[in-house]
């Protein structure tokens, strides 16, 4: 049965764009950007008259847009419209590197000591949120649904609501929502929560994040109904729900042609077993702790020397920020120490790659690895964990209990990423689990991932949003 929202135009508003345009030898080329948010939303935007509004940051982005800053993407299939906003250097520094990534990111991931609480960045954040809101208002037609994405745009729902009280607005928050005593540190906490509550409907990945958000509303003096998941501050009621982002399982399961590449990879590593970590460079991903755990593992279980190799694929991120450069150095030093101490003639304990790969090129790595080791200190979801499982029929997943994905992937070996002894034991357990048990666990996890894939997520979000409008 066709639902009313099938006919309505979807306007996604996100900081990140799904495609960027770059100069290449053969002219301007379009490149798909892989990040958690863009890989999740791109499939649901295709084949429609939908609109995505985002910051255009590719070097040739504005050479391909029309006089309304729009371009149709992707250029090789039926696409949708991408409208780009150009940000000045001052806006990029204050809004993106500043308030978004140096204030909200550390606070929401419960690293308050890393947060910059300077007022200047907050002022720029407000200004840029206003530009996004105005860009939506320019486009808005009756019946449109405005779906705001993530922490960079927290004020946009309320800014649109003030101009268009009847607009249909929702927001999905892709990163954690911290406990009150952490969120409360932000001097502009009330403005931020009021901004978000301009939406009719808010989605988080997990139930505990919904709980934290409702608690924040309550502590700010608002009404938070925990049975019906309803929040109200100085606003109309907003429904809050957990709808975990899924992946495009069909894409990850159509991997037959990648099996040969996976085989070649395996042969290159001169190891009986491979353990894989894939992360964006970030302190939340717990990469340095993982390196420590690998060292503990070889100390405690020396029988695996020469037998097991770790592959650490790190994708560059925020590389202009000094702290991220230092983090990279520390990780590389840790890896060099372990390799220097333990490596054999052919065998290398840790193979490290600092490079971003297009998503389809990650598949041979997923296929080649006997164990997936994803141990973020905290993560809204962690899509890589889901992708690793979806690609394979058997194997073992070791997953941080502080990743949102742990709420769905209960059959993974769940670990405290700070406890290197526990991670080392989990590795031993994973490497000795009989194939039949592995298959059983993977079968259960895959069933859930197939059922709760990215299309389910989109439909579920739109349905729940629709219901929230009528209650
Ligand atoms: C944020 C939250 C939340 C492609 N090539 C590489 C690579 N990709 C793709 C992966 C995956 C995505 O990027 C990474 O997603 P994650 O969820 O693992 O992590 P974040 O980028 O931190 O995403 C996160 C997500 O938003 C969605 O809501 O799950 O909690 O932090 O699809 O296939 N990833 C890496 N290297 C590559 O070369 N690491």
The answer to whether position 1 is within a domain reads: no
The answer to whether position 13 is within a domain reads: yes
Say yes or no: CB of residue 34 within 6 Å of ligand 1: yes
Same domain, 238 and 272: no
Range in 24-38, 92-106, 191-205 the model is least confident about:
24-38
Nearest CA to ligand 1 atom 14: 36
Strand ordering across the sheet containing 371-374: 350-354, 308-315, 273-280, 371-374, 396-400, 413-415
Say if residues 349 and 290 touch (Cβ distance below 8 Å): no
pLDDT tens for each residue of 110-127: 999 999 999 999 999 999
Say if residues 17 and 59 touch (Cβ distance below 8 Å): no
Rounded to whole angstroms, how far apart are CA atoms 204 and 243?
Answer: 6
Handedness of CA 150, 151, 157, 160 (dihedral sign): negative
Nearest CA to ligand 1 atom 13: 35
Same domain, 324 and 213: no
Rounded to whole angstroms, how far apart are CA atoms 179 and 107?
Answer: 10
The answer to whether position 396 is within a domain reads: yes
- Under DSSP, the state recorded for 403 is B
The answer to whether position 259 is within a domain reads: yes
**Mean pLDDT throughout 243-248?**
94
What's the pLDDT score for residue 36?
64
- Provide the residue range defining the domain that includes 20: 6-246+455-470
Say yes or no: CB of residue 387 within 6 Å of ligand 1: yes
Say yes or no: CB of residue 61 within 6 Å of ligand 1: no
Say yes or no: CB of residue 245 within 6 Å of ligand 1: yes
Same domain, 239 and 165: yes
Say yes or no: CB of residue 362 within 6 Å of ligand 1: yes
Same domain, 172 and 256: no
The residues pairing with 241 across neighbouring beta strands, listed in sequence order, are 203
Backbone angles phi, psi at 309, to 5 degrees: -120, 145
CATH number, domain of 63, equals 3.40.50.2000
Same domain, 91 and 176: yes
pLDDT tens for each residue of 323-337: 899 999 999 999 999
What's the pLDDT score for residue 236?
84
Neighbour-count burial of 346, counting CB atoms closer than 10 A to its CB (0-12 exposed, 13-18 middle, 19+ buried): exposed
Same domain, 210 and 127: yes
Is residue 256 very low, low, confident or very high in pLDDT (cuts 50, 70, 90)? confident
Same domain, 297 and 178: no
Instruction: Give Cβ neighbours of residue 57 (< 8 Å, ≥ 6 apart).
Output: 17, 20, 87
The answer to whether position 401 is within a domain reads: yes
Q: How many domains does the chain have?
A: 2
Distance 37 CA to ligand 1 centre (A): 8
Same domain, 182 and 258: no
Same domain, 282 and 221: no
Distance 178 CA to ligand 1 centre (A): 20
The answer to whether position 284 is within a domain reads: yes
Nearest CA to ligand 1 atom 26: 36
Same domain, 172 and 23: yes
pLDDT tens for each residue of 17-62: 999 999 999 999 999 887 667 777 887 787 668 999 999 999 999 9
- Under DSSP, the state recorded for 100 is I
Same domain, 147 and 256: no
pTM over 0.75: yes
The answer to whether position 315 is within a domain reads: yes
The answer to whether position 174 is within a domain reads: yes
Q: What is the SS3 assignment for 314? A: strand
What's the pLDDT score for residue 39?
72
Same domain, 150 and 223: yes
């Amino acid at each position: 049965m066709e639902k009313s929202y099938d006919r309505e135009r979807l306007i996604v508003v996100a900081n990140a764009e799904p495609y960027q345009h770059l100069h290449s030898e053969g002219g301007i080329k379009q490149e798909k950007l892989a990040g958690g948010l863009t890989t999740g939303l791109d499939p649901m935007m295709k084949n429609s008259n939908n609109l995505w509004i985002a910051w255009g940051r590719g070097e040739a982005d504005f050479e391909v847009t029309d006089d309304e800053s729009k371009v149709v993407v992707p250029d090789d299939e039926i696409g949708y419209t991408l409208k780009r906003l150009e940000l000045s250097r001052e806006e990029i520094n204050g809004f993106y590197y500043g308030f978004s990534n140096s204030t909200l990111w550390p606070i929401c991931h419960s690293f308050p000591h890393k947060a910059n609480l300077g007022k200047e960045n907050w002022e720029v954040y407000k200004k840029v949120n206003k530009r996004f809101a105005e860009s939506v208002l320019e486009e808005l037609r009756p019946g449109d649904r405005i779906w705001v994405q993530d922490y960079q745009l927290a004020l946009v729902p309320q800014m649109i609501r003030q101009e268009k009280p009847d607009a249909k607005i929702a927001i999905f928050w892709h990163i954690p929502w911290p406990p009150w005593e952490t969120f409360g540190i932000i001097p502009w906490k009330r403005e931020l929560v009021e901004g978000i509550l301009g939406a009719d409907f808010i989605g988080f990945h997990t139930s505990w994040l919904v709980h934290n958000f409702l608690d924040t509303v309550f502590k700010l003096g608002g009404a938070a109904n925990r049975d019906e998941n309803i929040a109200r501050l100085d606003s109309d009621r907003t429904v809050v729900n957990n709808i975990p982002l899924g992946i495009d399982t069909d894409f990850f399961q159509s991997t037959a042609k990648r099996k040969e590449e996976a085989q070649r990879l395996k042969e290159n590593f001169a190891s009986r077993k491979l353990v894989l970590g894939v992360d964006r460079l970030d302190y939340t991903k717990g990469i340095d702790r993982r390196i420590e755990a690998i060292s503990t593992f070889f100390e405690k279980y020396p029988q695996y020397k020469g037998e097991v190799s770790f592959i650490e694929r790190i994708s560059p991120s925020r590389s202009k920020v000094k702290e991220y450069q230092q983090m990279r150095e520390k990780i590389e030093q840790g890896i060099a120490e372990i390799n220097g101490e333990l490596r054999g003639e052919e065998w290398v304990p840790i193979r490290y790659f600092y490079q971003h790969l297009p998503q389809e090129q990650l598949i041979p790595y997923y296929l080649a690895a006997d164990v997936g080791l994803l141990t973020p200190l905290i993560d809204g979801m962690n899509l890589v964990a889901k992708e690793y499982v979806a690609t394979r029929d058997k194997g073992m997943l070791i997953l941080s209990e502080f990743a949102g994905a742990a709420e769905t992937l209960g059959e993974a070996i769940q670990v405290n990423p700070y406890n290197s002894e526990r991670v080392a034991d989990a590795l031993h357990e994973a490497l000795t689990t009989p194939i039949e048990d592995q298959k059983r666990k993977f079968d259960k996890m895959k069933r859930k991932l197939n059922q709760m894939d990215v299309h389910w997520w989109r439909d579920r979000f739109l349905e729940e949003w629709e219901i929230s409008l009528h209650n």
